[in-house]
Structure 1
Amino acid sequence: MRKTLLTYLLLPLLAGAAITATAQSGGSTPVAVVTPVQQTAMVNINTAQVEELQQALNGIGRSKAEAIVAYRNAHGPFATIDEVLEVNGIGKALLDRNRARLTLE
């Protein structure tokens, strides 16, 4: 009975020690993969052409980019970034998603 009790107590202890020794001796260790953070490209809303707007902004396709340029041509340069909300098809969520990429200069 004493041998059985010692076996039940020591077996998990020894198994845990063996796993720890394997991990420390260069066994399979998980490696964290770090991907570089992409820099946000700035786009000047007052000078950018259709293709540049399409490439630089999320959720802006050809028709919305054309609408931005048409609004700018009809009303002059944007005075504030928020003025982009006046463009047909541009909503608050879309503007907020791209706000960090937009500049007036």
Structure 2
Amino acid sequence: HSSKTYENYLIKIDQENISFDTPRQGDKFKIGAIEIHFLHPDQSLNQYNLNNSSLVFVLNYGQQRFLFTGDIEKEVEKELLAENPNLKADIIKVPHHGSDTSSSTAWVKSLEPKTAVIQVGGDNSYGHPKSKIIKLYQTEAANVFRNDLNGNIVITADGRNHTVKIDRSSNNIMAGAELDSKNNNTSKTETSLININSAEAAVLDKLWGIGPATAEKIIKYRNEHGPFEKLEEIKKVNSIDDYKFERWQDKITIN
């Protein structure tokens, strides 16, 4: 997903003619006593959607293992376990903000994490995190922390042990977590369609995979080319691919 910060980095790289490498599976490098080992993806991204193209890496420090997972889903989790049968993590950045498209039972049981951090914004439109995912990590004896409830989460490690410092405590780590759709009998008001010809950036940002930067691109495209005449025309906007469009084509309108 694009962001203004990311795009500013790309602009700076281009302006300064800075050489850079994109890590791939098998790449390693050291920073002092820390070793970072990239597990995913390999050289080709053709078989993966946007989420499953996320970088996955292990940060090794002494006897401790930190696992960073991006937005990978169960498909890639299965691949990683097959390729790395002894993969463990003391601390894990929970995949995809605690979505139930990720964190399979086999994944969590195999990793045996002691601390699980769910990076998620409050009252987000995606329904992250799911309560059953939180319960799954707790069942495997992991301490679960969430940015929306705990604020900044700072982990300090010495290579053997680690401590977690948070801005605020929460008496209910399940607060605001969305129930599994199969078990949630609460009636919900159907959300109205988003008019891509008139919606402001803050409204467009509610669509799956559309951050502030892409929302501005949609508005810019509208201003330069006029109103969208067909829903599919939005795919002409840079960074909107078939996968994104399929996720929310039933949530948008041009009228």
* Structure 2 partner of 1:41: 192
The structure with more radius of gyration: 1
Q: Does 1:60 align with 2:210?
A: yes
**Number of residue pairs the alignment of both structures matches:** 73
**Cα 1:33–1:67 shift into 2, 3 Å:** closer
SS at match of 1:64: helix
User: Structure 1: where are the runs of 5+ without partners?
Assistant: 1-31
CA distance in 2, matches of 1:33, 1:79: 37
Q: CA deviation at 1:98?
A: 0.7
* Structure 2 partner of 1:84: 234
SS at match of 1:93: helix
* Structure 1 partner of 2:175: none
CA distance in 1, matches of 2:253, 2:215: 15
* Structure 2 partner of 1:51: 202
Q: Which runs of 4+ in 1 moved over 3 A?
A: none
Scaled by the length of structure 1, the TM-score of the pair is 0.63
CA distance in 2, matches of 1:61, 1:91: 14
Cα deviations by residue, 1:44-65 (Å, 9 ceiling, x for unpaired)? 010011111112x111110110
**Cα 1:70–1:39 shift into 2, 3 Å:** same
> More helix by proportion, 1 or 2?
1
User: Structure 2: where are the runs of 5+ without partners?
Assistant: 1-182
> Structure with the greater relative contact order (CA < 8 A, sep ≥ 6): 1 or 2?
1
> More strand by proportion, 1 or 2?
2
Q: CA deviation at 1:38?
A: 5.2
SS at match of 2:187: coil
Cα deviations by residue, 1:56-82 (Å, 9 ceiling, x for unpaired)? x11111011011000010000000000
CA distance in 2, matches of 1:33, 1:95: 27
Q: Is the 8 A contact 1:68 1:87 kept in 2?
A: yes
Say what the alpha-carbon RMSD is for the aligned residues.
1.6
